[in-house]
Structure 1
């Protein structure tokens, strides 16, 4: 009788144990990676929303604002400057991300400048403690910094 070659049960169990150990070691790093990617994505969404609100104000020659849903942690929207029209954009904040910004939102004039005399800023923080800050100058140009405000 010829003996068959292949893997036996002890070898297969050893492979499963090694894979389990490697997965257990990599899980915390993966959670940090996911939280940091959520922070980057939310920061990018907010940045592009600010740019879109500014460009819509210039294009429509009207004041356009970006305002929080109930608060910035739940999301934000760019309402249409024309009454009765649907919102230009609506965004939802990703889980485990905290967003803080001006309570009344930010309004851009027809010239693309920020309405008011203060520089608005948004603070974004991930559950891992990593933070990002978006500041808008009075000229209406946003700037992202990878640090807290």
Structure 2
């Protein structure tokens, strides 16, 4: 009597079919998870930039400007599209360059720049972050008149 080693062709085809079914179910969920993480990460970076700029304005008792960056990130642009990155400036001096290039995420604002005064106050603005999934998955960040930036349920 011989003992059989290995798999039969039928067993191998069944395993390949099961792997194919699991991949069909799992891959779209994984793609959605990646897109969600990109959008959340970009929103958190933008919130951090606003909070840092407000803090610097209060610390230095000076006006700190947060603006949309040019594609080479060397100057501010007068544009509502902030997807190329952000500059934090004090007068003509660039304090920080924040590249926000996250694949497929677009950032639009109601204002091309935000000026935080020495007391931390500013003019209200909002940012909308979108990706390829459309408006159902957008994130909105609001900056109120006293300079606080918030997103989602924390804005209530």
Taking structure 2 as the reference length, what is the TM-score of the superposition?
0.79
* Aligned residue number for residue 78 of structure 1: 88
Query: 1:31-68, CA deviations, whole angstroms, 9 ceiling, x for partnerless residues?
Result: 22221221111111100110011111111221111111
Stretches of structure 2 lacking an aligned partner (at least 5 in a row):
71-80
Q: Contact between 1:97 and 1:124, CA under 8 Å: does it hold in 2?
A: yes
Question: What are the Cα deviations for residues 83-135 of structure 1, in whole angstroms up to 9, with x where unaligned?
Answer: 55x53242223112121114431110111111xxx411111112212111111
1:59 corresponding residue in structure 2: 59
The answer on 1:91 being equivalent to 2:96 is no
Partner of 2:32: 32
TM-score (norm 1): 0.82
Aligned residues: 141
Task: Classify the secondary structure of the residue corresponding to 2:99.
Answer: strand
Aligned-partner Cα distance in 2 for 1:43–1:90: 13
User: Which sections of structure 1, spanning at least 5 residues, go unmatched?
Assistant: none
| Secondary structure, counterpart of 1:88 in structure 2 | strand
